[in-house]
């Protein structure tokens, strides 16, 4: 379902990624807009590869070095690094 031009994230499957895996940050348009007010030193870099430090609430990824007060980023904003 889309709301305001963005896909809603509720009721989606839990993250297929596990702690320690390497993932590539591939933000959607929605993900980039949610990150708009994040201080530059806390923003992740699109297409950069990161190691997963934690998975919160089965759906939110925290990568090494990411310390945003709002918690992790939804797993759909990442792709498995090949």
pLDDT digits (tens, 9 = 90+) for 41-50: 888 999 999 9
Give a yes or no: residue 56 inside a domain.
Answer: yes
CA pair distance 17, 80, nearest whole angstrom: 8
Asked if residue 44 belongs to a domain, the reply is yes
Q: Give percent above pLDDT 70 in the chain.
A: 87
Name the helix (H) or strand (E) containing 51: strand 49-56
Domain extent for 68 = 16-80
26 falls within a domain: yes
In a domain, 63, yes or no: yes
Handedness of CA 20, 59, 72, 56 (dihedral sign): negative
Going by pLDDT thresholds of 50, 70 and 90, the confidence category of residue 16 is very high
**Structural domains in the chain (count):** 1
């Amino acid at each position: 379902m889309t709301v305001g031009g963005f896909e809603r994230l509720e009721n989606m499957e839990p993250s297929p990624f596990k702690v320690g895996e390497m993932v590539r940050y591939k933000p959607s348009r929605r993900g980039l807009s949610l990150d708009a007010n994040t201080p530059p030193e806390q923003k992740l870099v699109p297409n950069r590869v990161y190691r997963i430090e934690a998975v919160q609430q089965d759906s939110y990824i925290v990568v090494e070095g990411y310390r945003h007060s709002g918690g992790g980023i939804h797993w759909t904003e990442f792709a498995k690094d090949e």
